[in-house]
Homo-oligomer: A and B are copies of this chain.
Amino acid sequence: MPIASDVSLGRDVRIFQPDLVNLYGCTIAAETKIGAFVEIQKNAAVGARCKISSHTFICEGVTIEDEVFIGHGVMFTNDRSPSSVNPDGTLQTEADWTVVKTRVKRRAAIGSNATIIAGVTVGEHALVGAGAVVTHDVADYAIVAGVPARVVGDVRDRREMNPVATTPAGLPGRERRSVPGSDKDYT
């Protein structure tokens, strides 16, 4: 049963391929859309009117507020020191770690193939570029891109499509386009 009985689904949640997802113990609020090959773990919460695109993994400890866009192949994490076993070689269980929490605030957008390191907060209206690895908090309205992700712009300045930004190190003489982007909505 890829949608476990303990999942809380709000009104008009749309799951396009219910046999091709793995949802358990999570909360999904009203009108959110969920693509194929998505896994959402227990104790994760997704707000209303979000889009969670295909191939994305949302782990325990992640809170996604309302009206957030999550691209394809986005991976959240909740442990900065993952391990299969304890030092004595026994398999780790829930007693052996503490979940590090992550929050994505209202109307943020996270591009495809981005990786979100445990413990960060992505601010309201912020835009995380496709393929970015987010290791620090992202301010409201910031555009970040790269590995590790650095600020390359502000969504409020963004009337043109391809903002030009300085390099991560701020060196003069090089320019770098931000790399936001994802696919269009499912219809």
Contact residue among B20, B31, B39 (Cβ-Cβ distance under 8 Å from A35): B39
Cβ A89 vs Cβ B112 within 8 A = no
Interface presence of A124 (CB below 8 A): no
The count of identical subunits is 3
Cβ B184 vs Cβ A80 within 8 A = no
Cβ B73 vs Cβ A85 within 8 A = no
Interface presence of A136 (CB below 8 A): yes
CA distance A80 to B35 in the complex (A): 19
Smallest Cβ-Cβ distance to A24: which chain B residue: B16
Chain B contacts for A57, CB-based, 8 A: 53-55, 72-73, 112, 183
The SS class assigned to the A binding surface is: loop
- Report the interface size for chain A: residues with CB under 8 A from the other chain: 81
Interface presence of A123 (CB below 8 A): no
CA distance A67 to B147 in the complex (A): 28
Using an 8 Å CB-CB cutoff, how does the interface string of A104-134 with B read, 1 for contact, 0 for none? 0001010111010110000000010111010
Distance (Å) between the CB of A173 and the closest chain B CB?
Answer: 9
Apart from A73-B73, A77-B111, A118-B181, list 15 A-B contacts with CB within 8 A: A37-B39, A49-B89, A59-B183, A60-B183, A68-B84, A77-B181, A79-B183, A80-B181, A82-B181, A84-B185, A112-B115, A117-B179, A130-B133, A136-B177, A148-B176
